[in-house]
A and B are shown apart, each in its own frame.
Chain A
Amino acid sequence: MQAMAEAGLLQATTKDIARRAGVAHGTVFAHFRTREDLLCAVIEELGARVTGRLHQLASGDHGLLALLEAHVQGLIENERLYTRLVAERSGIPMRAQYTLVMIQSAVSFHLSAALDRESRQAWRGSRPPELWPLHLMFNTWIGLLHHYLMQADLFAPGEPSVLRQHGPTLARYFHALVADERKV
């Protein structure tokens, strides 16, 4: 996973991967028939880690801000490989491409539940009017995060994690935007 995070999903060679794992080159193919199988397994593991961590951090009916912070924390722990997935998604095998949809589905599930809880509290149990479609709000949050991830060299040059530096502020800012739009 580290080799692909550093060199890129499509650039990392099986020789690099074997060297990092401390195994002979041929051993890689004893576990994975092809490089494509290995790549798909790595992406699947990434998806399991990000969604598992989010479920773990988001359990307990927290508010929207806590959910956003949990999302950021889960991404920080897998930041380089996740950034590679976002950047290279269209070039990887189809079965791995949809891992990103699976990750975002877990995020949108928790985000919409947290927003619903917060809105009902603010509106004393009744459902507030939905001014804009939910997906626009979700995509605004994801777009904000991805913009910082894609330009990490500009927002946090030399730092191991752009989200560690900027994520908490982005979460608070987005929460304030949503609170203003939803009157929560």
Chain B
Amino acid sequence: MALKTCIACGMPMGRPADFAMGDVTREYCVHCARPDGSMQSYPEKLRSLTAFIVRTQGLDERAAETGAAAMMARLPAWKDHRGKG
């Protein structure tokens, strides 16, 4: 399978289990999907990415949030986001 990259977090998706709902036609990954399969919103993704950085790298929460926002700004799903909810 050609390697796709999640449009919402940048994670490479190499196996069906990496895709939202295991559906390889989706553009986003299992970590960026809500339980119903729809893609998380910007605030939801910012919150979860910030929590991931705090948990795994131990950064101060505000620094982690700035880092998460900087990472998200480079991704296709959020490129046009300008502080919208």
Report whether chain A binds chain B.
yes
Q: Interface on A for B, CB 8 Å cutoff?
A: 44, 55, 59, 95, 98, 101-102, 104-105, 108-109, 111-112, 133-136, 138-139
- A105 adjacent to B58 (CB under 8 Å): no
Nearest 10 CB-CB pairs, A to B? A135-B58, A108-B56, A101-B67, A98-B70, A55-B12, A98-B67, A102-B71, A135-B57, A59-B14, A134-B56
- B58 adjacent to A139 (CB under 8 Å): yes
- B56 adjacent to A135 (CB under 8 Å): yes
Determine the distance from Cα of A108 to Cα of B14 in the docked complex, in whole angstroms: 18
> Smallest Cβ distance from A142 to chain B, in angstroms?
8
Chain B interface extent, by class: 20 to 34
Q: Chain B contact residues: over half helix, strand or loop, or mixed?
A: helix
- A133 adjacent to B58 (CB under 8 Å): yes
The residue on B at minimum CB distance from A139 is B58
Give the residues in chain A near B64, CB-CB below 8 Å: 101
Give the residues in chain B near A59, CB-CB below 8 Å: 12, 14
Q: Chain A contact residues: over half helix, strand or loop, or mixed?
A: helix
Give the residues in chain B near A109, CB-CB below 8 Å: 11, 52, 56
B38 CB–A CB distance under 8 Å: no
Q: Which of B55, B56, B70, B74 has the most CB of A within 10 A?
A: B56
Determine the distance from Cα of A83 to Cα of B40 in the docked complex, in whole angstroms: 35
Determine the distance from Cα of A105 to Cα of B53 in the docked complex, in whole angstroms: 7
> Smallest Cβ distance from B5 to chain A, in angstroms?
9
- A98 adjacent to B56 (CB under 8 Å): no
Q: Which of B40-85 contact A (CB under 8 A)?
A: 49, 52-59, 64, 66-67, 70-71, 74
Mind listing 7 A-B residue pairs with CB under 8 Å? A101-B53, A101-B59, A105-B49, A105-B53, A105-B57, A108-B57, A109-B11
**0/1 string, B1-26, CB within 8 A of A gives 1:** 00100000011101000000000000
